[in-house]
Amino acid sequence: MTDKPNDSLIAWLADLIYVGGKFESGRALVCDPTGAIVKIAPVEELQDEKRIRLGNRAILPGMVNAHSHAFQRVLRGRTEYRTSDHDSFWTWRKLMYSAATRLSPEDVYDASRMTFLEMALGGITAVGEFHYLHHAPDGTSYDDPNLLGKEVIRAARDVGLRIALLRVAYVRSGFKTDANPRQARFIESNAETYLKNLESLGGDLNRASDTAWVGLAPHSVRAVPLDYLKQVITYANDRDLKTHMHVAEQPAEVSACVEEYGRTPTALLETEGLLTDRFTAVHAIHVTPKAISPFAKTGAMVCACPTTERNLGDGVVPADEYLRNDVPICLGTDSHTQIDLWEDARELEYHLRLQKLERAVLSGNPTVREGAWQLEADSTLRDGRVSDLAALLFDCATTNGARSIGAPGGALEVGKPADFFTVDLNDPTVAGASKGDLLASIVFSASRAAVREVVVGGKPIVSEGQHLIQEEVVERFTDLQKRLWQ
């Protein structure tokens, strides 16, 4: 009698696997029926596990997109023209409102599903959705005040992504600013209503779930007055929930905060005791070096969204200063002008190169001595060490993102879920890379098309570069765009 494979355990075998900060060969990633990793073992130690071979592939941990506005995917390509003497975030925002005020619940689902599909195809396995569409277009509440949030969650689940629904608190247009009727879908005028609806959504999701969970997202200091802000962040801290907030995205926001409170947004958050290790400041561009130290003291994080920040002309995140102060940075695709977390990772470095007129700004290694390059390069090729800069940027896209939104993945380790993607080692953008320079080739040069398989919780959602429901998702989104913009 021959032994049959143990179908309860699945062993994924690829040419290379990224574990412990470097690529290893001759290893298998083994997961149990729940999708948890039980071991990463040499292939020769496998016994009766069911084997899935992935030839010419490297396995890497799934990436985590920490900041998304899924419905804004409908805007792609439709805002790239001048509308005033000085175009900026504030003029772009008017065009965004034209879409936000016309989407039905089913439209929100279709737009979100398209966004999450594109994320999955790029190796993203979890997303933090900064969700602020709550009401009907005229501002009246749906029978279920979480209807639109649930449509976004349904979209993520149908695509197969994990999602943190970061439910947005939005109260006003700004300090001493008249109400904007185009924001009627966003506003919950008191903290009690907001928290009641958040609590209801959290209960519906089952907080113990690792596929969908809630977090809090006071939109910004201009949209949420201080008393309201303190009440919702206290609620989050008491329940160990993640808090995300737009901070210092534009100079006008900083000026308005100083006018209202006599302090910048970062100073306000610090002096009011609102920064904690559960807090992520999204963007945090227009800050002084002095304003960065409170993040380090409290363990708060920063989420940079370089593709959106350059598209809107917001500015450059001072990532070098944050990292110098040991402030972790994660990444988001925000408005979805482009959904490619590798691009956001490399831009975090590249924008600084343009500013400072130097290379490897975020690298912690000293410049290689003249004449020593060949020796160090050969050493790197032998032991599989990777570029410290590539590793840092990849951590921003994986482990840091997971910490920011409370996702269970981010790294391939025993006990964590089998959330991973593969890269085709024969893809033209990475072909010829060695173990030592493969991660740098991926982070700085790979096309998203190099991603071939994506697995979430041990279940494949992308195979050979195609998602299981890709055709239907694209078809319905195309129909939405025709209706929305005809």
Amino acid at 214: V
Among candidate residues 219, 12, 227, the one with its CA nearest the CA of residue 134:
219
- How far the first Cα of the chain sits from its last, in Å, is 67
Going from the C-alpha of 338 to that of each of 75, 89, 115, 342, 343, the distances in angstroms are 11, 17, 10, 11, 9
* Helix/strand/coil percentages in the chain, nearest 5: 40, 20, 35
At 376 the three-state DSSP class reads helix
E strands, 219-355, in order: 243-247, 279-283, 301-304, 329-331
Task: Give the angle subtended at the CA of 389 by the CAs of 335 and 454, to the nearest 5°.
Answer: 55
E strands, 84-233, in order: 124-131, 162-169, 212-218
Q: Is 334 a catalytic residue?
A: yes
Selecting among 67, 134, 283, 286, the annotated active-site residue is 283
Sign of the torsion angle spanned by Cα atoms 72, 300, 60, 159: negative
CA 283 to chain centre: 12
Q: Residue 4: count other Cβ atoms within 10 Å of its Cβ.
A: 8
**Structure-token pair, residue 190:** 């008191």
Q: How far apart are CA 218 and CA 245, in angstroms?
A: 5
Residue 23: strand pairing partners: 18
**Structure-token pair, residue 366:** 């000293």
Q: How far apart are CA 361 and CA 75, in angstroms?
A: 33
Q: How far apart are CA 413 and CA 60, in angstroms?
A: 11
Task: Give the angle subtended at the CA of 205 by the CAs of 333 and 64, to the nearest 5°.
Answer: 25
Q: How far apart are CA 6 and CA 113, in angstroms?
A: 35
147-159 and 191-205 helices, crossing angle to 10°: 30
**Structure-token pair, residue 280:** 């992520």
Among candidate residues 375, 349, 345, the one with its CA nearest the CA of residue 364:
349
Report phi then psi at 87, rounded to 5. Answer: -80, 145
Dihedral through CA 424, CA 427, CA 432, CA 433, nearest 10?
Answer: -50
Q: What's the burial of 479, exposed, middle or buried (CB within 10 Å: 0-12/13-18/19+)?
A: exposed
Among candidate residues 205, 222, 223, the one with its CA nearest the CA of residue 214:
205
Whether residue 393 contacts residue 348, with contact meaning beta carbons closer than 8 Å, is answered with yes
| Residues known to be catalytic | 283, 334
